[in-house]
Structure formats: structure tokens, C-alpha cells
Amino acid sequence: MNMKAKYIFTAVVLGLGLASCTNYFDSHFMDNGHPAVSDVRTGMSYTLTDDDYKQITVYPENIAKALALDPVDSTGLKELLAIAKEKSFTENASADMYVPALMAEKYPYLDNGTTCDVQYTMREGKSYRVAEFHDAQGFELTQADYETVWQKRGVSYLTPGSMANVPAFLAQRLSNARLGKIALITYNYSEDEPDPSELHDFLPYKLTLSQLLEFPDEDKHEISGYVGQVKSSIYGRFYMVDGDYSIYVYGLTDEDGNKVWKDKGIKQGDAITITGRYTAEGSEPQIVDGVYVSHSTPSAPTRRRALQARKTTQESAIYQLTEEGWVPYTNDQLKVGMALPPKIYEMAGVKAITDPDIILKYLQSAFPYAADKEIYLVAYMGKNGATADEWVVNGTELELTTGYITETMAFELKKDQWVANISTYLQAKFVGEGPGKFTIQHVNLDGLNYIWRYQSLYGMTASAYVSGTNHRVEDWLLSPNIKLKKSVQPQLTFDQAVRYGNTTDNPKWLSVMVTNNFTGDVTTT
């Protein structure tokens, strides 16, 4: 006997005990010998707790549903178990599938016709804009990268003029990138273009000793420095020095392999230029089999000091691969789409951002007058590489978009089974209730301030007739995203009132259009 039967049985006993001569109970509550007492409740509401999300995953009927979705690799079961971990539902593991088992346990004695609005958390994921960054590549430009950008050697920064070469560099550096790929690059930047003396053609690579030791590699280079301690003038073994830097030259000859030391009159302290390849025997950097180029006894060098005096800053930028190639990242839906400045990492004392408050504090200081509903996308280096987050202004406060939203679904007890009422996917009355989540996109206002607007007496209204002139315009009223995953033959109904215009053109000018690939711009969907 279930709990409902027990409850009714008790009521029958009490009723008989209190009855007098007239059988009041029989006349009011009995029908052919069967109890007619019922408990039907409407207007109930319930909010899921953390324990509820865990409980939902252990019901046998829910496990059976999940396994039936994908019996091969148990994807459905994994998604069911994720409900407990994430304390939220998804489209694939949805509330209408798994909440009924919980309702049956919580309300076993309620009768058919009972309704309850259940509030829960839905995990929708980040916006498509943030999703684009899921495989973004982030890196800091190396000396070799600067050389690729410049197609020259000797400069370790970018300038306004060289930024135009970055797309070609990215095409070379990320040659296998897919369309839509995003790159977050960090680089040294100078507003001033380099002196021609700083730039050198490729091969041989002309550079000072200090530059070679800062960025060592085993390519053949043309190196300049000064003759330091001589180990063997016969075999041309000596230390080449440049300020605080030194490298051991193991054997200096001409291009034919002939000893050149005495023939050329090389002396300690001379400025000398040689070619050779860098190596490191043990811990000592060396040039092996160096080839003599020239030497002289010049005045003290000044070029190195000039390079040190150049003022550079470290910057970051976002690029995306489009059909036109690599271009700076943009999105018209954003107020700001930017890379987090490198100075923020330095100020926070981190190389990767794990605390979103660091970004929040930066946005609050950089954009103190952010307006309601504005969206700020910030790309940054996280613990797993390049990524991005969006921040939306709610009133006057910036809030991180987490991808979690609160939803309410109506459930009803029918034929002793709890079922979700999901027949209505979107309902907007407009009149007296505001535009809701509908938005407006202007394509061509023809000089007017607005076309669509909300009026409490009429709902959403549109007109392009001003001061006796009909304007040729294009303006859109956009609904929020409507999920029809569980629908069967969905229907759309709407009411509109039209004044003026003509019967020929109105049907084509005033229309409802549906898309399943909207990315934020009606002109590109």
C-alpha cells in the first residue's frame, strides 16, 4: 500500500468514528465504494538545491534514460553525472529529462493535475565570441620572429611601420591554422622607426657579440667585437669581447683555411669582424673555425648605447584568420575587444591569469564610464594558454559572463507521471510589458534617429514616415535565441497592426525571418 492509500485509509477511519446518524462521509466523499479524496495543487514552486543535483544522478530511471541516449560510449551517462559536479543542466542533459524522478520522490502523494514551477541552473557555456578562443594560440615574439616581420636582422621590437607586416608573419608562423583561428601575440613596441644602421640584411647575419649571446643559435653569423685575451696568435685562438660579454674563438683563418693572425697584423684591443657558428662546449660559448673578415682600431663603440637608450613598451594584440588573411580581431557586438596589457601581469606578479578579479579591477580603472549592457571581451594568458572572457555592464557594474543562467520550467503531474510543459518556447506580449529580451539592429536609418521603438500602449512599433517624407530604411527587431531542440513541428504566431503602406508591398516589407546561423549581424546571417 503506498503512502497515498495510507493517507486516505486514515481519513476513512476518522470519518466513520465521527459520523452520526446521517452518512455525511458517504454522501460527500464516496463514489461506488471508492475514495474520492484528492490532493491537487497548482501554483507550486521549487528551487533545486545542491543536494538535488546530486540526487538526480542516482535514480535508476535517470541512469536508464542516460544509457539509452548513447549505449556505445556512455556519453549520456557522463553528461548525467556532470549534473552533480556542475550543479546545472545542459541541452543534452536537460531538466525536462531528469527532474521528473526527483519530483516523484518529493511529492509522492499529490494527484494528477498538480503543477509546479521548478527553478534550476542551466549551463549554456560561454558566448560564441568567447568560444572562438577555445584553441587560440598565444606567444611572445622571439628574436627570430622580429627578423621575420622585418625581413631584416638587428631589431628586437615592432613599430607603426612594421605592424603592417604582422599578418604575413602570422601566415608563415601559423601556416596550418584553420579559418577563424585566433592568435594572441605579445611584443616589444616602439613609436620610433629604427635607424637604418640598426637593420641588417639576411646572411650573413651581422650583429654584435652581445646580441649573439643574448639570442644564441647555430646559424652562420657575421659577428663584431674586440680582441681580448690572446691564447695563441699562431692558431688564431683568442677571446672576442664586447662590454661584459665574451666568447672564445677557437681558430681564426681566411676563407681558404690559411692562418691570418700575423699576416693581418691583428692586435689586442682591435675591433674585429669574423664569421662563424656559435657552439657551447661545456658551459663556455665558442666560435669554432672562425673566418676573418676585417679589423681596425676604431674609437669606442656607441651603437650599443644607442640601442639601449631606445624606449620600448611591451604590448599585446589579437589577430584572427579570415578569408582575407590574418587581421586584427574585431566584433561589432562588443564595446571593447582587447588583449590584456602585459603590464597587468607584471603588476599582479603572475605570468598567467587565474583570478578574474585582476581583469575586473583593470576594466574598472580603464573604463570608469562603461554604459549599461556594454560587452567587454578581454583575451589573456590563462593557466592552460590563451583564452578570453566577456564582461557585461549590468546597470553600472561589470559582471563576468559565466555561461550559467537561471531558468524555470513548469512541470505537471499527468497519469501519475511528472512531465515538463515545454510546449511554449518563447512568449512576448510587449504591450505594457516592455521589449523583454528583444533587441534592435539598425542597418539603414536614412538619417532618422530610430525606426523600431517600444510604446507601452502599442508594444513594439516601427515607422519610417517623418515630416511628410517616407524614408527608405532597414531596421530589425531581433528575438532572443529560441531553442527548439525538443520541438515537433513548432509553430510561430504573432499579431501585428499595419496602417498606411499598400497591400502589394507590405507583405514583403513587413515579414518574419528565421535563421539557424545567427552570429550577431543580420546582414551576414
Give tens-digit pLDDT for 339-389.
999 999 999 999 999 999 999 999 999 999 988 889 999 999 999 999 999
Is the separation of the CB atoms in 105 and 60 below 8 Å? no
Task: Please give the model's pTM, rounded to 2 decimal places.
Answer: 0.51
- Ranking 15-29, 36-50, 273-287, 468-482 by mean pLDDT, the lowest is 15-29
CB 387 within 8 A of CB 133: yes
Check whether the bond before 204 is cis (ω within 30° of 0).
yes
Domain segments of the chain as ranges = 3-128, 129-141+151-192+315-402, 197-309, 429-509
Residue with cell 601559423: 174
**How many angstroms separate the CA atoms of 1 and 68, rounded?**
31
3-state secondary structure of 192: coil
The overall average pLDDT reported for the chain is: 84
Highest mean pLDDT: which range of 296-305, 339-348, 414-423: 339-348
* Residue range 121-161, pLDDT digits in tens: 998 878 888 988 989 999 999 988 998 999 887 788 999 99
Instruction: Report helix, strand or coil for 485.
Output: coil
pLDDT for 37 equals: 65
Give 330's contacts (C-beta < 8 A, 6+ positions apart): 337
Superfamily of domain 197-309: Bacterial OB-fold (2.40.50.200)
What percent of the chain stands above pLDDT 70?
Answer: 88
- Structure confidence by residue, pLDDT tens digits, 262-276: 888 898 888 899 998
Identify the pLDDT of residue 325.
Answer: 94
Q: Which H or E element spans position 274? A: strand 271-281
Question: Strand 30-31 relative to strand 34-35: parallel, antiparallel, unpaired?
Answer: antiparallel
Share of the chain above pLDDT 90, in %: 47
pLDDT at 33 over 60: no
Q: What is the DSSP letter of 162?
A: G
The secondary structure of 14-46, three-state, reads HHHHHCCCCCHHHHHHEECCEECCCCCCCCEEE
| pLDDT, tens only, 393-408 | 988 899 998 888 888 8
Interval 398-420 mean pLDDT: 90
d(CA 98, CA 84): 12
